[in-house]
C-alpha cells in the first residue's frame, strides 16, 4: 500500500528513513530548512555520508525546502536535533519549531510521528501543542500523534534501520496499529507496540542510560586501578571468566545519544520530585574521563623524562567513535584542552574526519599523511580499523627518544606492553 510520507529533518536519522520508505514503494517527500543541503540532495549527493550518494541519486524522493510540501502528506515524521543546553536541560526548540511548521501546512486526518529523543511526555507537551496553535486543529480529533524513537547505530552496517526492532506508539490503539503497519514495511526485525507514547519515550532514554551506567562503572574502576598500579584490562579479563559477568571496557564516551539521553530522564524525573543520583553520577564519571586520559598522558611524558612544553602528542582518531567522521560530540576535545593547558603541542590524524573541520574545531594541526617522525607520545583515542592494522613496533622507531603510547580503549590488546623501548599505557 503506497502511503504519502513527509520526513521533516534530513540528517543522520531522517535521510536513511526517507530512503527506506522510498525503497518500500511509498511516496516520500524529504523536507529540510537548509536549502544548501537540499540542493545537494537534489544533485544526488549525500552530505551526511550515512547512506551514500548512489542511494540518494537513485531514489524517487522529492527533496525540498518548501514547507508547503508537508500538506500533501498523510504521515509526517519528525527527525530534528534535540540537544541539551549549557545547564544540561533539554533544548526542544527544534521540535517546537518543526511543530509550528507542520501546523501551518498539515492536512486534517494526518498522523505526526516524532523520532527524536525527548523526555517522557514531550510529544504531548511540546510537539502536539505547537501543531495545534499553528493549525487551529485539535490533536486526537483533527490530527493524530505518535512516537517511534530512532535506534540506528552510525557506522555500524550490522545495526541499520531494517535490522533493529522498531518501537512504535500512538495516542490511540487505532493510531498505533496504523503506524505499526507503516513501519513494518521498512523494518525486517519487527515492531514492538508500546502501550503509551510516554513508555516509548522513556524506553529510548533508558537504552542509553544503561550503557552510560555500565561504562561509568568500568571507567571508575579504571581510574581506581590506575591509582593502584593495576592493569584494568587484566582485572576485567580475570573477572570476565565468570559466566554472568558483563563485558564492558573503559574509554571515552561521545556521540549524540549516550552523553545526552540521560539528561532527558534526569530532567523530567526532577520535575516530578525525584533526583536520580546514579544517573547523574554516571554522567559525572564519564565526563571526567577525557581529563583522566590527559592526566595519564602528562604523567607518562614525565615518566619518560620529557619536558612538557617541548613535547608533541599525536592523537590518532578525533571522531567520537570508530568508523565515522563525526567530531561534533567527540570527548577528545577536553583531553586536547587539558594537554594544551600544560603547553604540550598536539597534532592529530583521522582517516574519516574532515581535516579543515577538525582544525577549526579543536585548533590543532592535522596530518594529511600519518607520520610518527619526532613524535613524543601517541594517543590512540578513537581506534579506527585502519589503526589496528599498523605494525606499531616498526612505526615507533620513528618517534623521539623514550616514546610513549597511550591506548585509551586497549584495542592494541597490550601487544606493546612487553616492548622495553616504549612506555605503553592503557586506561
Q: Give the catalytic positions in this structure.
A: 257
CB atoms within 10 A of CB 125: 14
Cβ contact 73:349 at 8 Å: no
Cβ contact 76:102 at 8 Å: yes
Q: Is 234 exposed, middle or buried (0-12, 13-18, 19+ CB in 10 A)?
A: middle
> Residue 226: helix, strand or coil by DSSP?
helix
- Which three cell numbers mark 95? 521540535
> Residue 269: helix, strand or coil by DSSP?
helix
> Residue 166: helix, strand or coil by DSSP?
strand
Q: How big is the chain, counted in residues?
A: 427
Q: How far apart are CA 364 and CA 350, in angstroms?
A: 12
CB atoms within 10 A of CB 244: 4
| Dihedral sign computed on CA atoms, order 358, 364, 368, 371 | negative
Q: How far apart are CA 83 and CA 261, in angstroms?
A: 9
Q: How far is CA 60 from CA 42, 154, 249, 305, 385, in A?
A: 10, 24, 43, 62, 34
Amino acid at each position: 500500500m503506497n502511503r504519502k510520507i513527509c520526513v521533516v529533518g534530513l540528517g543522520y536519522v531522517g535521510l536513511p528513513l526517507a530512503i527506506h520508505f522510498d525503497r518500500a514503494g511509498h511516496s516520500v517527500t524529504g523536507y529540510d530548512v537548509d536549502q544548501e543541503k537540499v540542493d545537494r540532495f537534489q544533485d544526488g549527493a549525500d552530505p551526511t555520508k550515512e547512506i551514500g550518494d548512489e542511494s540518494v541519486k537513485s531514489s524517487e524522493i522529492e527533496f525540498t525546502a518548501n514547507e508547503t510540501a508537508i500538506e500533501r502528506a498523510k504521515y509526517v515524521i519528525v527527525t530534528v536535533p534535540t540537544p541539551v543546553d549549557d545547564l544540561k536541560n533539554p533544548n526542544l526548540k527544534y521540535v517546537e519549531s518543526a511543530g509550528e511548521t507542520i501546523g501551518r501546512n498539515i492536512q486534517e486526518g494526518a498522523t505526526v510521528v516524532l523520532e527524536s529523543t525527548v523526555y517522557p511526555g514531550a510529544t504531548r507537551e511540546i510537539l502536539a501543542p505547537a501543531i495545534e496553535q499553528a493549525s487551529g486543529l485539535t490533536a486526537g480529533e483533527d490530527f493524530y500523534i505518535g512516537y517511534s524513537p530512532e535506534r540506528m547505530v552510525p557506522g555500524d552496517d550490522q545495526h541499520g534501520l531494517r535490522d533493529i526492532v522498531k518501537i512504535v506508539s500512538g495516542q490511540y490503539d487505532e493510531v498505533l496499529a496504523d503506524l505499526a503497519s507503516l513501519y513494518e514495511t521498512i523494518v525486517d526485525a519487527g515492531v514492538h507496540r508500546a502501550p503509551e507514547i510516554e513508555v516509548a519515550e522513556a524506553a529510548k532514554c533508558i537504552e542509553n542510560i544503561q550503557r552510560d551506567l555500565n561504562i561509568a562503572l568500568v571507567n571508575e574502576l579504571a581510574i581506581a586501578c590506575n591509582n593502584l598500579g593495576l592493569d584494568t584490562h587484566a582485572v576485567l579479563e580475570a573477572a570476565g571468566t565468570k559466566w554472568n559477568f558483563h563485558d564492558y571496557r573503559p574509554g571515552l564516551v561521545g556521540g549524540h545519544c549516550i552523553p545526552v539521553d540521560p539528561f532527558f530522564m534526569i530532567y523530567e524525573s526532577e520535575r516530578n520530585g525525584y533526583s536520580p543520583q546514579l544517573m547523574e553520577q554516571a554522567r559525572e564519571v564519564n565526563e571526567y574521563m577525557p581529563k583522566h586520559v590527559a592526566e595519564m598522558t602528562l604523567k607518562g611524558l614525565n615518566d619518560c623524562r620529557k619536558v612538557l612544553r617541548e613535547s608533541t602528542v599525536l592523537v590518532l582518531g578525533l571522531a567520537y567513535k570508530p568508523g565515522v567522521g563525526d567530531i561534533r560530540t567527540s570527548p577528545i576535545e577536553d583531553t586536547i584542552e587539558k594537554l594544551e593547558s600544560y603547553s604540550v603541542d598536539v597534532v592529530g590524524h583521522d582517516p574519516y574526519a574532515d581535516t579543515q573541520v577538525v582544525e577549526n574545531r579543536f585548533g590543532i594541526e592535522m596530518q594529511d599523511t600519518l607520520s610518527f617522525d619526532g613524535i613524543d607520545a601517541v594517543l590512540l583515542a578513537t581506534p579506527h580499523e585502519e589503526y589496528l592494522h599498523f605494525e606499531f613496533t616498526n612505526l615507533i622507531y620513528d618517534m623521539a627518544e623514550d616514546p610513549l603510547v597511550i591506548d585509551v580503549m586497549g584495542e592494541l590488546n597490550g601487544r606493546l606492553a612487553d616492548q622495553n623501548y616504549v612506555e605503553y599505557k592503557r586506561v
